[in-house]
Amino acid sequence: MNHSKLGILSAAHFFTDLNLGSLPAVLPFLIAAYGFDYRDVAGLMFASSCLSTVVQPVFGWLADRSSKNLFMGGGLLLTGLSFGAVGFLENYWAIFAAVILSGVGSAVFHPQAAKLTNLISGEKRGTGISVFSVGGNGGFGVGPLLAAALITAFGLKGLAFYGVCSLLIGIPLLIYGPRMTPAVAPQSVQAKKAPAAGTGGNDWHSFGLLTVFIVLRSICYTGVLSFLPLYCIHGLGASPSAASAAISVISFAGIICTFFGGPLADRFGCVRMILVGSLLLVPATALAVFPESLIWVYAMLIPISLAFNISYSPFVVLGQTYLSKSVGFASGVTLGISFSAGGIVAPALGWYGDIHGIAATMGLIVGLSALAALSALLLKQPAGSAEKTVSKA
């Protein structure tokens, strides 16, 4: 494992996802400044996430055909400069376009960076992806706090800070990125020769099953973040601040839980860790919902965060292993879907809640977590990388 390069990639991931993580905190200020309605701001969230999901696999496919790593620096620059421009625009459609470009920049960055992380991590690919992912999770966690502080102090033009950061980090990455390839090129060649799940090439069937699991997990994750606070307020009588604190616990605990998922996958195998996370999610969400008690909700916050995030690095690595000849494309699909598939389905969950109530919506999420666990049971360990057994100390 090349620790210095891994640190650079994790830091770049932090500054890339810092932009996307900041957007929800910026929306109330846009409403106050320009009179946007809820449909307008929902459109901005849709523009940020959904288009990124569509184009990210495309850039993953291109990353598999390029060895220059220019996508990383270019993507970071596009993301930060576009998001920074939001603070200087007043027309809705101009802001909409800037948000789209910021999302596209993120889609450009992630597949190439995840592919390179896979290559420089040696035999500890789970650990490498965990370190890389912690950078992104940190960006999402810090982003809302930073955006609120900047706008409070300097107004919307304070978002220029994001553009400055992208220049300071993106330009060196654009220059240094191509130099990261030669040292890992032999590993890249070897990876292309490695068989995937016994097919002698890409195992698309297994990757399809993994994609089903990731979609279901993403729906559950978005559902918990979106509707658990509403359940606490309207179903259990909690205050808005207490409900928001619950989500903060899940999000920040997720940074730590994500880190541990990779090393555990290196020790016990990716499939096993995905199973552990998915099987833990079912009772954790059920105990948070069905007792109808705030005490149980708070007690299950850490287990829920662990269940979601301990499987994150393992499913990214497993996808890269299933498509060992198309690591960039696999990275683009797994990272893209895990980020926004739930956001696409969230309006349907909201529609269900309007008809049947918030408690029924949380019950539906518990049911979806069970489906995610069932889909995880269908995953198979790739040939040539049998599940690891615990060695004696």
The residue extents of the domains of the chain are 3-193, 204-376
pLDDT > 70 fraction of the chain, expressed in percent and rounded? 91
d(CA 92, CA 40): 8
Q: Is the dihedral of CA 233, 237, 240, 244 positive or negative?
A: negative
Where is 157: in which H helix or E strand? none
**Percent of the chain beyond pLDDT 90?**
33
Q: Looking at the structure, give the CATH architecture of the domain made up of residues 204-376.
A: Up-down Bundle (1.20)
Fold classification of 3-193 (topology level): Growth Hormone; Chain: A; (1.20.1250)
* Residue 64 confidence (pLDDT): 77
Q: How far apart are alpha carbons 322 and 320 in whole angstroms?
A: 6
Mean pLDDT in residue range 70-99: 92
pLDDT tens digit sequence for 302-325: 999 999 989 988 998 899 899 888
3-state secondary structure 355-391: HHCHHHHHHHHHHHHHHHHHHHCCCCCCCCCCCCCCC
Rounded to two decimals, the pTM is 0.77
- The reply to whether domains 3-193 and 204-376 share a CATH topology is yes
